[in-house]
Amino acid sequence: MSELEERVETEASVTEAEANNMESAAPAVEEAAPVVEEAAPVVEQAAPVNETEPAAEAEAPETAAPEAEKSWYDSASYRPEESRDPVYADAHFEPASSTTVPPRYYTPPVRQEKEKKAKPAAKRQLGLRGAVALSLVCALLGGCLGAGISTLSANKRFEALETALEENSQADAETAAALADAEQRQNSLASPVASAAGLMSPSQIYQLACSQVVGITTKVTTQSFFGTQTGTVSGSGFILSEDGYILTNYHVVEDADVGNLPVNVVLYDGSSYEARIVGKEDINDLAVLKIEASGLQPAVLGNSDEMQVGDEIYVVGNPLGELEFSMSTGHVSALNRSITTEGAIDIPMFQLDAAVNHGNSGGPVYNTRGEVVGIVTAKNSGSDVEGLGFAIPSSDAARIAEDLVTKGYVTGKAYLGIWTDERYNAMVAQYYNMPLGAYVADVSQGSAADKAGLTAGDIITALGDVTIESPSDLRSAIRGYNAGDSAELTYYHAGESKTVTIVFDERTPETENAAPATQP
| Lowest-pLDDT choice from 46-60, 94-108, 297-311, 324-338 | 46-60
- pLDDT-derived band at 3, boundaries 50, 70, 90: low
pLDDT band at 311, cuts 50/70/90? Answer: very high
Cross-strand partners of 317: 326
d(CA 475, CA 461): 13
Evaluate if residue 519 carries a pLDDT over 50.
Answer: yes
387 confidence band (pLDDT: 50, 70, 90): confident
Pairing of strands 213-224, 346-352: unpaired
304, 326, 361, 444: the active-site residue:
361
Q: Say if residues 322 and 215 touch (Cβ distance below 8 Å).
A: no
β-bridge mates for residue 393, sequence order: 374
Select the more confidently predicted residue: 321 or 235.
Answer: 235
Instruction: Please give the pLDDT value at position 298.
Output: 96
pLDDT band at 140 (very low <50, low <70, confident <90, very high): low
- More confidently predicted of 297 and 69: 297
Closest CA to 364 of 214, 243, 197, 253: 214
66: pLDDT strictly greater than 60: no
What residues contact residue 485 under an 8 Å CB cut-off, 6+ apart? Answer: 414, 503, 504
Beta bridge partners of 57: none
Instruction: Tell me the C-alpha distance between 41 and 39, whole Å.
Output: 6
Identify the weakest region by mean pLDDT among 75-89, 345-359, 439-453. Answer: 75-89
Rounded-to-integer distance, Cα 102 and Cα 95, Å: 7
Residue 23, number of CB atoms within 10 A of its CB:
9
Stretch 27-44: mean pLDDT: 43
Is the model more confident about 337 or about 139? 337
Which has the minimum average pLDDT: 6-20, 374-388, 457-471?
6-20
When pLDDT is averaged across residues 113-128 and rounded to a whole number, the result is 51
Report the C-alpha gap between 146 and 144 in whole angstroms. Answer: 5
Q: Residue 25's CB: how many other CB atoms inside 10 A?
A: 18
pLDDT band at residue 193, thresholds of 50, 70 and 90? very low
Q: Which of 233, 216, 204, 241 is nearest to 363 (CA)?
A: 216
Largest distance between two CA atoms of the chain: 199
Q: What does the alpha-carbon distance between residue 165 and residue 177 come to, in Å, rounded to a whole number?
A: 18
In 3D space, the residue among 306, 113, 268, 84 whose CA is nearest the CA of residue 192 turns out to be 306
Burial class (CB in 10 A: 0-12, 13-18, 19+), 408: middle
361 flagged as catalytic: yes
**145-149, 184-188, 226-230, 337-341: which range is least confident on average?**
184-188
Catalytic residue (one of 241, 282, 285, 472): 285
Q: Confidence class of residue 103 from pLDDT cuts 50, 70 and 90? A: low
pLDDT at 133: 63
H helices, E strands: number in the chain: 11, 20
438/70: higher pLDDT: 438
pLDDT at 62: 44
Cα separations in angstroms, 411 against 176, 303, 407, 414:
35, 21, 8, 9
What pLDDT digit, counting tens, does each position of 141-189 carry?
Answer: 666 666 555 555 556 655 665 666 566 566 555 555 554 554 554 444 5
H/E stretch holding 174 reads helix 121-184
Which residue out of 234, 236, 251, 403 is catalytically annotated? 251
Q: Are 244 and 296 in contact (CB under 8 A)?
A: yes
The percentage of the chain sitting over the pLDDT mark of 90, rounded to a whole number, equals 45
* pLDDT at residue 123, rounded to an integer: 46
Q: Across the chain, what does the average pLDDT equal?
A: 75
Question: Residue 379: its pLDDT value, please?
Answer: 74
Cα 153-155-156 angle, rounded to 5 deg:
65
Q: Is 234 a catalytic residue?
A: no
> What are the start-end ranges of the E strands in 394-485?
414-415, 418-420, 438-443, 459-463, 466-467
Burial bucket for residue 360 (CB in 10 Å: 0-12, 13-18, 19+): buried
**190 pLDDT higher than 60:** no
* CATH for the 202-406 domain, from 3.30.470.10, 3.40.50.300, 2.60.420.10, 2.40.10.120: 2.40.10.120
- Residue 182: which of 269, 301, 288 has the closest Cα? 301
Axis crossing angle, helix 3-46 with helix 55-64, rounded to the nearest 10:
150
Greatest mean pLDDT range, 6-10, 197-201, 351-355: 351-355
Q: Which of 72-86, 342-356, 500-514 has the lowest average pLDDT?
A: 72-86
In this prediction, residue 299 carries a pLDDT of 96
pLDDT at 138 (0 to 100): 66
**CATH number listed for the domain at residues 414-514:** 2.30.42.10
**Which pLDDT belongs to residue 30?**
46
Going by pLDDT thresholds of 50, 70 and 90, the confidence category of residue 18 is low
* Count of residues in the chain: 520
Mean pLDDT is highest, among 14-28, 54-68, 70-84, 385-399, for 385-399
**Residue 468 above 70 pLDDT?**
yes
Q: What is the pLDDT of residue 155?
A: 60
- 458 catalytic? Reply is no
Lowest mean pLDDT among 171-175, 338-342, 461-465: 171-175
